[in-house]
Amino acid sequence: MGIKDSGESEEALLISFAATPTTSVSSYQQIPKDTFHLAYIIYFTLGAGYLLPWNAFITAVDYFSYLYPDASVDRVFALFYMVICLICLLGIVVYAHRSNSCVGINVGLVLFMVSMLVIPIMDVVYIKGRVGFYNGYYVSIAAVVLSGIADAFVQGGVIGSAGELPERYMQAVVAGTAASGVLVSILRIITKSVFSQDEHGIRRSANLYFAVSIVFMAICIVFWNVADRLPVIKYYKDIKMQAVNEHKSGKASLTGSAWRSTLWDIVGRVKWFGFGIVLIYIVTLSIFPGFISEDVHSPALKDWYPILLISCYNVFDLVGKSLTAFYLLENTKVSVGACVGRLLFYPLFLGCLHGPEFFRTEIPVIILTSLLGLTNGYFTSVLMILAPKSVQIQHSETAGIVTVLFLIVGLALGSVVSWFWVI
């Protein structure tokens, strides 16, 4: 079944909510309209927002590589970002029943802004375009770490919040994450074309990425604080609160061992969705961006080659994440099987390094990179949409956060596996 329109998916959601024993569907007949699709736009923007800082860091790789020529920037940044995000997200999951996602997202967005400010300020005050000042490299890693902490708060909160809503809003979030990559790729192409490729041009382009990210974070803060006031969002939040209250009235409050038992039950229900997501991102992050930006080369395209490959990946990732708005594959076994099938990308990309001569040319690499993005986008979107709907409404937010935890595990493992191309 595709997500053909908001009305259809909202009705399906209400039917699924009826699985909560004491919740009556007839109590929720008047569904407010998402006027001007504002709620959809907000969740799309938030999805773009929480990945924009990461995309800015990895797209400014030429700036960091110029300043710190002896460092494997993309791989080091990926490892620190994903591992720190994973550790923080574990804490958020454990204390999800006591946390306030509204506060957490606001805190995370402010931390994103701080981490983005570090790089341009350091460039102007300390680095000033000079090569080999590795104290600046360590400060840059610290900014990446801060951004990873912010990601845990924002991504966990946004996905958890979207998990309480109809399918189209989760699709909006995951499509937004892909749009952020496309936005940064467009910026990268523009700056590469307009700015000179010397020290000053590289610095100006990098500072532009971070300036755009800072402005975008400010917009996200405004949007997030508007979202809960929209009638359609308040409507579904009220459904959740009634389900939670009815659940509490029949059972003891979820604290201590009771919460741990519930949490394990949620993990058990979403584990296959999570397994598929882990596989997706182990494969993807072990190839992108490290392999794409460092290991394959083109005598014809020269330093435009990694920019072209990263842009192809980001565009097709957006296409894949947008396709679920038209067709949603609801067969979990097929979806997870397709995630396992993506392991074939390893021998295929290995062939791009050591295979026949034709296989090492630009066209096969571009095709494979595009397919990597397309499959990453579509199956991520499918699994992220389905996972929160596999539990009762009062646990959908936690299920969304647990799903993000699986995603970050895949990213962290993928960032480790990416080093094997070097070995």
pLDDT in tens, 32-61: 999 899 999 999 999 999 999 988 888 787
Could you give the CA distance from residue 234 to residue 242 in angstroms, rounded to a whole number?
A: 12
pLDDT of residue 266: 92
pLDDT of residue 10: 45
pLDDT of residue 97: 66
Task: Kindly tell me if the per-residue pLDDT of 13 is higher than 50.
Answer: no
What sign has the CA pseudo-torsion 51, 56, 57, 58? positive
Tokens of 118: 């570090």
Q: What does the pLDDT average to over 397-412?
A: 90
Q: Which amino acid is at 400?
A: G
Task: Report how far apart the first and last C-alpha atoms of the chain are (Å, whole number).
Answer: 44
pLDDT of residue 18: 39
pLDDT of residue 196: 86
What sign has the CA pseudo-torsion 291, 292, 294, 299? positive
pLDDT of residue 128: 83
Q: Binning pLDDT at 50, 70 and 90, where does residue 422 land?
A: low
Q: Binning pLDDT at 50, 70 and 90, where does residue 268 land?
A: very high
Q: Binning pLDDT at 50, 70 and 90, where does residue 358 land?
A: confident
The dihedrals phi and psi of 392, each to the nearest 5 degrees, come to -70, 155
Residue 17, CB half-sphere, CA atoms under 13 Å: how many? 30
Distance of CA 68 to CAs 73, 75, 175, 214, 290, Å? 8, 13, 34, 24, 16
Tokens of 256: 């201590």
Q: Which amino acid is at 405?
A: L
Show me where the domains of the chain are located: 6-18+36-242+266-417
Could you give the CA distance from residue 96 to residue 104 in angstroms, rounded to a whole number?
A: 11
The answer to whether 112 and 155 have CB atoms below 8 angstroms apart is no
The answer to whether 263 and 414 have CB atoms below 8 angstroms apart is no
Task: Kindly tell me if the per-residue pLDDT of 176 is higher than 60.
Answer: yes
pLDDT of residue 243: 76
The answer to whether 286 and 420 have CB atoms below 8 angstroms apart is yes
pLDDT of residue 278: 96
Q: Which amino acid is at 309?
A: L
Shortest CA distance to 380 belongs to which of 89, 51, 126?
Answer: 51
Neighbours of 129 (CB within 10 A): 15
Could you give the CA distance from residue 174 to residue 407 in angstroms, rounded to a whole number?
A: 12
**Tell me: domain 6-18+36-242+266-417, CATH 1.20.1250.20, correct?**
yes
Computed over every residue of the chain, the mean pLDDT equals 85
* pTM, full prediction: 0.84
Query: Which is more confidently placed, 129 or 387?
Result: 387
Distance of CA 158 to CAs 174, 245, 246, 284, Å? 10, 23, 25, 22
Q: What does the pLDDT average to over 63-92?
A: 87
Q: Binning pLDDT at 50, 70 and 90, where does residue 192 land?
A: confident
Task: Kindly tell me if the per-residue pLDDT of 246 is higher than 80.
Answer: no
Could you give the CA distance from residue 185 to residue 182 in angstroms, rounded to a whole number?
A: 5
Q: pLDDT digit string (tens) for 307-351? A: 889 889 999 999 999 999 999 999 999 999 999 999 999 999 989
* Percent with pLDDT over 90 in the chain: 49
Query: Which is more confidently placed, 59 or 184?
Result: 184
Q: Binning pLDDT at 50, 70 and 90, where does residue 9 land?
A: very low
Query: Which is more confidently placed, 13 or 313?
Result: 313
Q: Binning pLDDT at 50, 70 and 90, where does residue 251 land?
A: low
Residue 246, SS3 per DSSP: helix
Could you give the CA distance from residue 254 to residue 275 in angstroms, rounded to a whole number?
A: 27
- DSSP symbol at 88: H
The answer to whether 178 and 321 have CB atoms below 8 angstroms apart is yes
For helices 199-227 and 167-194, what crossing angle results, to 10°?
Answer: 160
Alpha-carbon 361 to chain mean position: 31
The phi-psi region of residue 21 (left if phi > 0; otherwise alpha if psi is between -120 and 50; otherwise beta) is alpha
Which of the residue ranges 124-133, 198-207, 218-227 has the most confident prediction, judged by mean pLDDT?
Answer: 218-227
Name the helix (H) or strand (E) containing 185.
helix 167-194
* Percent with pLDDT over 70 in the chain: 88
